[in-house]
C-alpha cells in the first residue's frame, strides 16, 4: 500500500463515499466555514476517521499545485499496478478487454481526466510510458475524481514492446491521428481492443503508430483541427462501448 493526499471537496467526498476504509485522516483548514467542508468533517467522524484542524499553509504544502478548498485527506491507495500484471488483467477480461494507451500525455489535468473516463468506461488498464507521463500526483487524483484508484495505471519501460505483447495476446490496436481517411465510426471495436492516443502537440510517436493495426480519426466538421486529449479519449472509449453493447 502507498499513501497519498486527496485534495479538494469533491475528491475527498468521493473517497469517503466509495473508499472510506482507505481514508486514514481528514485535515480541515482552521476557521473553515464552508458548509460542504464541515459536512465532510462530520461524515468522517461518524466513520471513525480522525479529523484534524490545520493552518492553511500546511494544507497548501500538502496540496502542491492543486486547490484544496480547505480540506485534504490522507489516503492509503491500493498497490500500484506493474507491467508484469498486464497479462493477468488481459486474461481476466478476455474478449471484453479494453485498454487505453496514452503516449506522451504529460499534463496532470489531462491524465487525470483520461483516468476518469477510463474508470467510467470500465477500462482493463491504462498504459503509459514511464519516461513520458506524470505520476499519480494530487493534481492527477483531483482531476480523475476517484478514477485514479479505480483503474490500473501501468507505467511501462518500453511502450513498443508492450504494444507487441498486446498484439501477441490477440488485442487489436487502434491509434488516433488526424491524417487518415478512416474514422473511429468505421473501425470495429468488438473483441479485445487497445486505443492509443498521443499528446495534443505531437500525437502518437512514429514507432507507436507503426505498431497499430488501424489508425483512425474523430471526424470534426467544424473549424477546430483537434480535440483536447481527454475529450478525445472520452469520445473514442464510449464509441467502443456503444459498438460492443450493440452486439449483445
Tell me if 227 is assigned to a ligand binding site: yes
CB 135 within 8 A of CB 126: no
Q: What angle do CA 44, 48, 52 make, to 5 degrees?
A: 60
Whether 222 has a binding-site annotation, put simply, is no
- Whole-angstrom distance, CA of residue 99 vs CA of residue 156: 14
Is residue 198 part of an annotated ligand binding site?
A: yes
**C-alpha cell belonging to residue 106:** 504529460
146: left (phi over 0), alpha (psi -120 to 50) or beta: left
CA–CA dist 34, 31 (Å, integer): 9
Measured distance CA(153)–CA(101) in Å, rounded: 10
**Grid cell at residue 143:** 482531476
Q: 218: exposed, middle or buried (C-beta count within 10 Å: 0-12, 13-18, 19+)?
A: middle
Annotated binding site: 198, 218, 227
Which parts are annotated binding residues for S-adenosyl-L-methionine? 198, 218, 227
Amino acid at each position: 500500500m502507498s499513501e497519498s493526499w486527496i485534495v479538494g471537496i469533491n475528491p475527498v467526498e468521493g473517497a469517503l463515499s466509495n473508499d472510506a476504509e482507505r481514508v486514514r485522516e481528514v485535515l480541515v483548514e482552521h476557521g473553515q466555514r464552508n458548509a460542504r467542508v464541515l459536512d465532510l468533517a462530520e461524515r468522517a467522524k461518524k466513520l471513525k476517521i480522525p479529523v484534524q484542524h490545520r493552518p492553511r499553509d500546511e494544507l497548501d504544502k500538502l496540496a502542491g499545485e492543486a486547490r484544496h478548498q480547505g480540506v485534504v485527506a490522507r489516503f492509503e491507495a491500493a498497490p500500484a499496478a506493474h507491467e508484469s500484471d498486464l497479462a493477468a488483467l488481459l486474461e481476466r477480461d478476455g474478449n471484453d478487454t479494453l485498454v487505453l494507451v496514452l503516449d506522451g500525455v504529460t499534463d496532470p489535468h489531462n491524465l487525470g481526466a483520461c483516468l476518469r473516463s477510463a474508470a467510467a468506461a470500465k477500462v482493463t488498464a491504462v498504459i503509459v510510458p514511464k519516461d513520458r507521463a506524470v505520476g499519480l500526483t494530487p493534481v492527477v487524483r483531483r482531476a480523475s475524481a476517484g478514477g485514479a484508484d479505480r483503474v490500473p495505471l501501468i507505467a511501462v519501460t518500453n511502450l513498443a514492446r508492450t504494444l507487441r505483447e498486446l498484439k501477441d495476446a490477440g488485442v487489436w490496436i487502434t491509434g488516433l491521428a488526424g491524417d487518415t481517411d478512416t474514422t473511429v465510426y468505421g473501425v470495429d471495436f468488438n473483441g479485445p481492443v487497445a486505443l492509443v492516443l498521443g499528446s495534443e502537440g505531437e500525437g502518437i510517436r512514429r514507432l507507436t503508430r507503426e505498431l497499430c493495426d488501424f489508425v483512425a480519426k474523430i471526424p470534426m466538421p467544424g473549424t477546430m483541427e483537434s480535440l483536447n486529449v481527454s475529450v478525445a479519449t472520452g469520445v473514442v472509449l464510449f464509441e467502443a462501448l456503444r459498438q460492443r453493447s450493440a452486439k449483445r
